[in-house]
Amino acid sequence: MNNQFSFEIVHQSKKSKARAGIINTPHGQIKTPAFVAVGTNGTIKAVENNVLNKMEQDLIFCNTYHLMLQPGTKIVKNSGGLHQFINRPKPIITDSGGFQVFSLAYGSVCDELKSKGQKKYDSTVIKISEDGVTFRSYINGDKVVLTPETSIKAQKDLGADIIVTFDELPPYHVNQKKLKASVERTHRWEKRSLDEHLKNPNNQAIYTVIHGGLDRELRTESCKFANNLPFDGFAIGGSLGKNHEQLFDLVKFVTPQLEPERPIHLLGIGDLKSVIPCIELGIDTMDSSHPTRCARHGLAFTTQGAQKIVSIKNKNNFGPLDPNCSCSTCKNYSAAYIHHLFKAKELTAYTLATIHNVHFMIKYMKNLREKILEDKI
């Protein structure tokens, strides 16, 4: 559908289902497997995009829900699109807003906003219908209607390289009847999303979300639905289990059922324990705020394992956070200095730690790609 978007499998590992590939977009290439950093409001928290642009972070994930409410997608469009607005020349993916909206119904987003002191108004879902979802903005209390069509139109305004279909996200503990009804509704919404997208492809690729919770029959049904329509890629979403074992079993079951010619994204997963097993099962890209959140909480990813920056051992550690790291933080600042910044609650501490963890993830994925090319994983 999009002649500026393509996916090329460079090498399929002989040892596992892992594969090294290249996703071509209007704003450059994404070498896979790739970790996708989350920039909810158009920025990786604590790091300006001009700094991120100098790193090999091929793809970032921005949230349609938040950008719709503030500053508004029309403002972003009038600025020249999201790339221009946030000063990012490299690829961007936006979600549909569905995850945030349905999380309102179950409390997690409401609780998150409240914990951040951002909850000025009641952020609640007012109505869920076949048409879409009506909810109240946490910014000004206005009623907002989000449907497959308005979600896609908002993502057209943003102009990301990859957009995602609107879907329903039921809670983990939902009965079989409600889960089946949710998957069927999601499929109708995803078809409506695709139809709206095809009215104006806008040099954007569209991914659809594979649903079904832990129910294998519903997951198979969702895979068949997705394979039969001209989506550019797949995103495995919905409830992914309550532990790593369930996650890995689910990914192992789903990935072989998706057409291998299209890229497969894993939504919301990016902790280090999950990365290699999921890549070995055929995942091409995965997004998570985990590495950057860990950084802001003073946990540095290193080749010796995760390290608490405020640990007493760093008080007199005049070397870098990781002697094997070449990030700008480790090149220019000692662990003792960053330890001091965290203790003093200086905002620069979050920036330096985040740069370090993002760099770690980029290098980590780059090394995994090399191992795939050598059939080592």
Q: What positions carry a catalytic annotation? A: 95, 287
Q: Specify whether 137 is located in the same domain as 13.
A: yes
Tally of domains within the chain: 2
pLDDT number for residue 122: 52
Q: Look over the chain and give the mean of its residue pLDDT values, rounded to a whole number.
A: 93
- Residue 366 in any domain: the answer is no
- Residue 51 in any domain: the answer is no
Regions of the chain where pLDDT drops below 50 = 108-121
Q: Specify whether 209 is located in the same domain as 307.
A: no
**CATH number of the domain within which 270 lies:** 3.20.20.105
Q: Specify whether 351 is located in the same domain as 261.
A: no
Q: Specify whether 153 is located in the same domain as 183.
A: yes
What 3-state class would DSSP assign to 240?
coil
Q: Specify whether 117 is located in the same domain as 241.
A: yes
pLDDT number for residue 98: 85
Q: Specify whether 203 is located in the same domain as 281.
A: yes
Tokens of 316: 């007199």
Q: How far apart are CA 201 and CA 221, in angstroms?
A: 26
Tokens of 179: 């889960």
- Residue 197 in any domain: the answer is yes
Q: How far apart are CA 275 and CA 59, in angstroms?
A: 16
Q: Specify whether 220 is located in the same domain as 349.
A: no
Per the CB < 8 A criterion, the answer to whether 26 and 83 are in contact is no
Q: Specify whether 198 is located in the same domain as 324.
A: no
Residue indicated by tokens 């998706």: 258
Q: Specify whether 272 is located in the same domain as 353.
A: no
Q: Specify whether 228 is located in the same domain as 314.
A: no
pLDDT number for residue 14: 98
Give me the domain span that covers residue 163.
6-32+63-288
